Amino acid sequence: MSGCPNCRAYVSDGEMFCRSCGFNLASFQVSTQNIDFPKTSRVPVLSRISNFSDSCKANWNRHVLPIMGFLLALSIGSTTAAFLNNEPVTPQTIQPVMVVSQTVETAITKNFERSYMGVYLIYDGNSNGALIDRIVEGSPAELAGLVSGDRIMSINETEIFVPADALSVLSTTNPGSLINMRVQRDDIELNIGLNTVRRNQLQLDEICYHQGFLGVSDLTTKYFDPDSEGNESVAGVYVGQILENSAAENAGLVEGDTIQTVNGIFVFDAGDLSRRIRANKIGDTVELGVLRNDEFITINATLSSRE
């Protein structure tokens, strides 16, 4: 006999029951003992067994292996997340990773701690350096000799075009580092070095009030009369008010004067005039070029305090 008539599984001669489905072969053998089964009857049985094996292998590759891979990746991902969050799954094995992570985090924080030198920078429309507007009292900038009106041209050989460039360099410089600056002061170029500090080392509310004070207000830009082609040019800063007992009053400035120069440097608006004056200290004498009734005169003013 070659196969079970019920399930077509292979059976040996003399077996009473099918090992696969339990079919009773005894009665079937008796009734079919004179029937000659074709020799090829075993082929479908072997083919089915082979197909079953291939099907199991395909199902294994298609379903079981991807699921196992997903579970393995999920396990690794969870462990990695625990590493990054400093939440060890197994303290004995994760503790070294925690230390390394904390060390790297500390190093990154330290590297991104911004340096300060104690200046307030402004953009005045000139993309040629960062203009210093004010100096913090007792700051490294003041101790190094920087004054209001200075223009920072470079820091550590990095060219500075606008205030953001200076802040970018300071943001990548560790506090306490020595920086070298090239500074433009009027027509003079200076090389100044200073040691930066942390923000909490500055008294940001303490602006240098010992800077010089002239005592003029209500300032506007005044223009010359248009020429034949209708073009106007800046004449200077028109003074609308003189404060009592100020340096301006003591020097002889009057309302209606137009200040054209400060120490030989032309000024074009109120901010420009203010920066030129604050670049000097209390007690310094500045030379003012003044246009009064279409006549240019020179006035020397000894700067006083703001109070």
Number of domains in the chain: 3
Residue 87, pLDDT score: 43
Three-state SS at 86: coil
Residue 32, pLDDT score: 47
Please report whether residue 209 resides in a domain: no
Please report whether residue 30 resides in a domain: no
* pLDDT band per the 50, 70, 90 thresholds, residue 281: confident
* Mean pLDDT for the chain overall: 75
pTM over the 0.75 mark: no
Asked which of 93, 111, 129 is the last residue of a domain, the reply is: 111
CA distance 173 to 130: 18
Residue from 161, 129, 135, 130 nearest 148 by CA: 135
Residue 127, pLDDT score: 77
- Please indicate, yes or no, whether residues 91 and 158 belong to a single structural domain of this protein: no
Note the pLDDT tens digit of each residue in 52-83. Answer: 455 566 666 666 667 777 677 666 655 444 44
Q: What are phi and psi of 232, to 5 degrees?
A: -115, 150
Report whether pLDDT(270) > 60: yes
CA distance 23 to 11: 11
Please report whether residue 29 resides in a domain: no
Q: What are phi and psi of 119, to 5 degrees?
A: -130, 155
Please report whether residue 2 resides in a domain: no
Q: Do 246 and 214 touch, CB atoms closer than 8 A?
A: yes
Please report whether residue 162 resides in a domain: yes
Please report whether residue 208 resides in a domain: no
Report whether pLDDT(12) > 80: no
Mean pLDDT of 84-96: 43
- Please indicate, yes or no, whether residues 232 and 271 belong to a single structural domain of this protein: yes
Note the pLDDT tens digit of each residue in 162-187. Answer: 899 999 999 899 999 999 999 988 77
What are the structure tokens assigned to 63, written together? 């379903």
Report whether pLDDT(99) > 50: no
3-state secondary structure 162-215: CHHHHHHHHHCCCCCCEEEEEEEECCEEEEEEEECECHHHCCCCCECCCECECC
Does residue 2 or residue 179 have the better pLDDT? Answer: 179
**Amino acid identity for residue 31 in this structure:** S
Note the pLDDT tens digit of each residue in 130-164. Answer: 888 888 888 899 889 888 888 999 999 999 998 99
C-alpha 158, offset from chain centre: 18
Most confident of 125-129, 146-150, 276-280, 282-286: 282-286
Structural domain containing residue 283: 216-302
**Amino acid identity for residue 307 in this structure:** E
* Burial class of residue 233 in the structure, from the number of CB atoms within 10 Å of its CB (0-12 exposed, 13-18 middle, 19+ buried): exposed
Report whether pLDDT(3) > 60: yes
**Amino acid identity for residue 256 in this structure:** G
Please report whether residue 33 resides in a domain: no
- Please indicate, yes or no, whether residues 140 and 180 belong to a single structural domain of this protein: yes
Please report whether residue 10 resides in a domain: no
Eight-state DSSP code of residue 151: E
The kind and range of the H/E element at 81 are helix 65-84
> Residue 238 is part of a domain; what is its CATH number?
2.30.42.10
Tell the residue number behind the tokens 């210093």, with chain if given: 132
The kind and range of the H/E element at 20 are none
Residue 277, pLDDT score: 87
Residue from 137, 103, 96, 131 nearest 118 by CA: 137
Residue 108, pLDDT score: 44
Q: What are phi and psi of 104, to 5 degrees?
A: -65, -40
- Please indicate, yes or no, whether residues 146 and 187 belong to a single structural domain of this protein: yes
